Amino acid sequence: MTRSALITGATGGIGQALARHLHAAGFPIFITGRNEKKLLELRDELRCPGLALDLSPSEAAPRLYGAARETLGHIDILINNAGFNKAKIPLSDVTAEDIDASYALNLRAPMLLAREALRDMGARRSGHIVNIISSVVHFRAENFSVYTTMKNALHAFNGCLIKEARLVGVKVTGVYPGGVNTAFRAQPRPEYLQPESVATLILNCIAAPDDAVVHEITFRPMVENNF
Ligand SMILES: NC(=O)c1ccc[n+]([C@@H]2O[C@H](COP(=O)([O-])OP(=O)(O)OC[C@H]3O[C@@H](n4cnc5c(N)ncnc54)[C@H](OP(=O)(O)O)[C@@H]3O)[C@@H](O)[C@H]2O)c1
């Protein structure tokens, strides 16, 4: 059976590159992001189904998973990729709304989507959940507290999920990229990793032999030395 994949954050950067790579490799995919115009363009390009929605409200994750499952018939790979960092800001300027928004998208949404996937895939004793985390969990930086906190929590969640999912035959991979040249930052960073390179490395994890699981993968652009 051909494995099919649900990819969040597919309207930009890493998610868009992943959608193109998985499509080219023959995987049926379901794409999602907030920007309806970008989603429709990618749907047209790849001739694949998708749904534009904001993943921040707690009801969005089960709604998305249900829609993707109904359309694809089965979901074998969930890629929790959608995420954001508003800006690098000192804690003195961080608002409660900043913390809530980061929590809702960077932590709660991937947790709820993983829950949906584990219920579904675990019942079939097969599947793969990929969480895009960040190499930010491996260091500390000033003015980066909100994003770093949420990604560290996602890292902890990923570790627990690895254990729970193993019991029901589901693979889990945590991905820890260093800087990637996407719209994640206001300024382009051509010296950083290209999103296509990130997609290639993630595809290798998905293509691991049946008897192997890549639990964690960290990679960085050669210019980075923050480790
Ligand atoms: N770029 C880096 O240096 C880097 C490094 C390590 C880890 N990461 C992680 O990699 C992942 C992808 O980042 P990227 O660099 O590809 O960023 P990006 O180019 O800004 O793309 C982010 C994606 O997330 C979607 N998204 C944002 N807010 C959303 C919301 N509320 N609901 C649903 N979708 C939403 C965006 O959709 P719309 O544009 O349609 O809103 C877009 O498709 C993130 O989890 C990020 O933390 C990035």
CATH of the domain at 47: 3.40.50.720
In a domain, 224, yes or no: no
| Domains identified in the chain, total number | 1
Could you identify the atom of ligand 1 that is nearest to the CA of residue 180?
A: 3
14 close to 185: Cβ distance less than 8 angstroms: no
In a domain, 68, yes or no: yes
Encoded amino acid at 200, one letter: T
In a domain, 190, yes or no: yes
In tens, the pLDDT along 24-73 reads 999 999 999 999 999 999 999 999 999 999 999 999 999 999 999 999 99
Distance (Å, whole) CA 129 – CA 71: 19
The one-character DSSP state at 74 is -
CA 83 to ligand 1 centroid distance, Å: 4
In tens, the pLDDT along 64-121 reads 999 999 999 999 999 999 999 999 999 999 999 999 999 999 999 999 999 999 999 9
The encoded tokens of residue 165 equal 């999912």
In a domain, 203, yes or no: yes
Distance (Å, whole) CA 147 – CA 134: 10
Note down the domain range covering 208.
5-219
Is the pTM higher than 0.95? The answer reads: yes
Residues with CB under 6 A from ligand 1: 9-15, 33-35, 38, 54-56, 81-84, 105, 132, 134, 177, 179-180, 182-184
The one-character DSSP state at 125 is T
In a domain, 166, yes or no: yes
